[in-house]
Amino acid sequence: MKKIWKYRFYYYLALPGLIYFIIFHYVPMGGALIAFKDISPFDGLRGFFDAPWVGFKHFERFTSSVYFLDVIENTLIISGLKILFGFPAPIILALLLNEVLRMSLKRIMQTISYLPHFISWVVTAGMITALLATSGGLLTETINDFTGSNINFLGNKDYFVGILVTSHVWKTIGWSSIIYLAAMSSIDPALYESARIDGANRLQMAWHITLPSIMFVIVIMFLLEIGNLLEAGFEQILLLYSPSVYKVADIIDTFVYREGLLALKYSFAAAVGLFKAVIAFVLLYTANRLANRLGQTGLW
């Protein structure tokens, strides 16, 4: 208690953030109870207390659904590809920017790479549609004129996932590189001087000094990516997909959206969402344990 009183002003500073998380993140967790009930949207708040308990009925319904394997597979494939291409991309960009010696050029390149982050997915989806729409799409029309074909990028299952991954990398690469650049700025310059005296070139210094020095940041960011493995990009997909690509683009979140908000199956949608949250927690815990066993600093 003496320490708490001594540092009370720090606790006062943390209090607004603590209240925010309690009200908007912890209190709503009580709503997960509707996953174990059979609530009608017309019951109002009373249904939360009076609706009958149905146990794991909605979970069993989801796992036995004809859509179960498709949405799980699509979620893992899209998320996996985004991690495969999107996770190393900002690291590589940060390494390249770190090698730029002219500060004015470095700032311009950083600004250009950051800009897509501030463009909402609504605007980004509009830009992608303007480029790849079957009729009037700038890039589509150009390719069709040269090849004599009639390609439908956004409505073709063979192209749609690639469009999702490419647009994701383009939008996130610059902003995600900030944390790696910040970690690189704390590396002792004497290490580079010593390596340069020993005859190391820039590639060797990046591989043997820069990367090992920021490895703890890379591990933590990778763990967070694993925890978000089932977050395949709801807003992005919702704005771009159509029934013609449901087979490869329908993920857990879009399935929950259709079942919960459009079909008004609140309890079923809550069960699917809770199922996803539990799996994400297991993945994060497993990845963190594995990182600790390999001698890396994890999240805890």
pLDDT in tens, 151-195: 888 888 889 999 999 999 999 999 999 999 999 988 888 998 998
pLDDT at 40 over 90: no
pLDDT at 298 over 80: no
Q: Could you tell me if 64 and 58 are in contact, meaning their C-beta atoms sit under 8 angstroms apart?
A: no
pLDDT for 299: 63
Identify the residue with better confidence: 192 or 3.
Answer: 192
Token pair 């291409």: residue: 85
CA dist., res. 37 & res. 56, Å (int): 9
CA dist., res. 171 & res. 116, Å (int): 5
Q: Could you tell me if 272 and 256 are in contact, meaning their C-beta atoms sit under 8 angstroms apart?
A: yes
Residue type, 32: A
Looking at every residue in the chain, the average pLDDT score rounds to 87
Tens digits of per-residue pLDDT, 241-275?
888 898 999 999 999 998 888 888 888 888 998 89
Identify the residue with better confidence: 222 or 136.
Answer: 222
Which CATH architecture best describes the domain 68-293?
A: Orthogonal Bundle (1.10)
Q: CB 171: neighbour CB atoms within 10 A?
A: 21
pLDDT for 76: 92
Q: pTM of the prediction?
A: 0.85
Q: How many CA atoms within 13 Å lie on the side-chain side of 8?
A: 4
Least Cα distance to 236 among 90, 79, 51, 76 occurs for 79
pLDDT for 20: 92
CA dist., res. 161 & res. 81, Å (int): 9
CA dist., res. 128 & res. 300, Å (int): 40
Token pair 């000094």: residue: 209
pLDDT at 84 over 80: yes
Name the phi and psi angles at 86, rounded to 5: -85, -25
In which band, very low, low, confident or very high, does the pLDDT at 52 lie, cut at 50, 70 and 90?
Answer: confident
pLDDT at 283 over 90: no
Token pair 């609140």: residue: 266
Judged on CB neighbours under 10 Å (0-12, 13-18, 19+), 5 is: exposed
Q: Could you tell me if 172 and 221 are in contact, meaning their C-beta atoms sit under 8 angstroms apart?
A: no
